[in-house]
Structure 1
C-alpha cells in the first residue's frame, strides 16, 4: 500500500478477534488522553496507590507488593525472572507451547541452569508431573505460563504454589492472556510472583505489566540488593545473594519507587498508569465473577458456531482457555487466504499460529471489550463467508444460529 509520508495517523478500523492485542475499551483510551502530572506530584502518587489497591482485587490477593512494571507484558516476565533467577540457579520451566519456550530463552540469558518439563503442544501438566520434575531436579525457581495463547490451553495452577514451597522453590506464573478473563487466584494458588498485561482480557493497550509479589519472594528479591558490585560470583556458598544484572528490571528498585519511600528509579509512564487504572476500574465495576462468566459465554457461543460449520476445535475441552479458541484449518483450505479475506472484506482479524501448529490452526480471541454477542456473531458470519469463498462447503447460516442459541 502506497501513501504520502508523514500524514496524521489514521489507522483502519479493525475488529481484533485474534489472540491479542484486542480493541481497547473506549474508557481506557479516554483515560490515556488525560493531562500529565509530575511523577512525585501528590495527585500522581495517589493514583499510584489507587492502582495498587485495584490490582490486588484483580489478582485476588492481599499481597502488599502489587504494582505496575512499565513496558509490555514481556517486561513483567523479564522483571520477574531477572529478580528471581541468580546466575547459575537451577530453574525448572514448564514448556507446553510457544511462551514456555520464551521463559527458557529469558532464563538462559540470565545465566540460569535450566531444566525443563516438556509436553506436546496442547497438553497441560498434572500436579504429579510437576512434583516429579521438582523432586528430580531440585530447582530454586519454577516458572510456567497460565494461559498459553499459542495452544489456547490453560495450565491448572491450584496447589502448585504450596507444592513449590514444600520443596523450597520460588514460583512464577505469567497470566498475560488470562488476567481479567479467567480467575487468577493468586493467594489460593500460593504462587510467589505473577505478572500480566493489559492488551488481552483487561481491555487496554500493550505497554503496562501488572505484577504481584508474595512477601516470601519480596524478601528474597530485596536480599539481592545488599551486595557490592563486581565481587560476587555464582559459585559462592556463603548464602550471599548475587545482585540483579538489570537496572530497569530490578524489582527491588521498582518496589522502592512504588513504596512510601518514593525512591526515584524511572519516570512512571503516566498515560499507561491511567490506562491500567481505568482498565482495572472497568473490570471491578463489572465484577470478577460476572466478567469470567461473560468470557465463558462468549467462548462457548463461538465454539458452538464453529462446530456448526463442521470445523474441528483444537485441544482438550477440559483445559481450554475461555478467551482464546484454536481450530484446525480444514484440509485443502489456504488459511492465510481466509484470514486475508476476513481482514480486507470485513475488517476482522483472527490469528495464525506458531511452531508445530503454524499453518495448521487459527486462533480466535473473545476477550475483554470484544467478548460480546454481536462481535462473536460478526466474526462467525465473516469466517463463514471467507470459507465459502475459498471453496469450503460450509452450511450457510448455521454458525450464527448455533451461537445465538447460547445466549438467553
Structure 2
C-alpha cells in the first residue's frame, strides 16, 4: 500500500476514529483501525467495537486539493490512537503511508519518518450483522439531528439498574422523536423529517449518540440518512462517505405518554438567557447541598430564587417573569433545571407547574421541545426541603 494524504482530511477522519476505538482493552487488535486503499480510488477507514461500527471514505479525486492519492492499493491494520497522534503532530501539509513486506507502515511528512508495526489484517474482525426485517429510514438536516441529540441525552440515567433508561428512545413515524428519562426528569424533542420507508423505534445508548453528535457536520445544507431498526441505528452523511452504526439497547423503554401533564395550574414565562445566568449563580451555593436543591416563588412579576448551605452560606436572586395562574412555592434540583433549559432553543422558557408537589414542565419557543423536572417537597416558604 502506498497513499499520499492531505493532512487536514486525514486528521479529520482519525479524530472521529479515536472517538470509537477503546484504549483500555485486553486484546491489542481492538485498539486498531483498518485502512484499505482499493482499486476504485477509495481509501476506506474502519473501526469496530461490540457496540458500534464507524466507516469513513476518502476519495482519490485526481485533481485539485486531493484528500488522498493512491499510488498502490493495499490494506493495513494499525493502532488508532498512535497513528492519530503522529499525524496530528506532523508539520507538513501532506502525509504518506507506505506498507512494507516486513509488516511495517512507514509514515512520512517533510523531515519526519515513523515506522509502525502493523497487525495481520485477518485478525481484524469485520462486522457481520443480521438486520431485522422491519426497516424504516429518513433524511434530515445534520444540524437538526445534532440538536435533537443535545435535547435528549442529558436526561438519560447513568445507573445500570434499568438499562433502557441509559438510552434515548428514537422513533420514526411522523418525523423523528427522541424521549429520555432518568426517573427524575423527562426530555422530549421532535424534528420533522422526510420519511422514506416504514416506522419504528429503538433505544440507543446516550454515550454513542453524543459521539455521533460530535462527528456530525455543521454545514447548514448537509443531510443525514438515518436507518432505524429494532437492533441498531445507522447514520450516514457526506454522500455515504461516513457511516456510523450503533447497536441498540436490548431492553424495553417505558411508556412515557401517560407522564406528560395536560393541565397546568400556572404559566411562568422568563427570558431564557437571564434564567440560566440566575440559576448558575444559585448553583454556586446549592451545589454542596443534598440533591442541589433550590426554591423559587412566583410573586409580583418575579421568580424569586433562593438556596442555602449550612457550611457555605445562602443566596437570594430573582428574574422578571410573566405570571399567569397560581403563585406556587416550589423546590427543585438546580442542575437538572439548568441542563434542561440549556438544551432548548428560543429566547424564552415557560415553566408550567401542575401543583406545589407535582411535575414541572418546561417549554421553549419551539413547540417540539419540552422537558419535565420533578420537584422536591418543601415544608414552607421559610424552610428548606423536608
* TM-score, normalising length: structure 2: 0.24
* TM-score, normalising length: structure 1: 0.24
Higher helix share: 1
Flag the structure with more relative contact order, 1 or 2, with Cα contacts below 8 A and sequence separation at least 6: 1
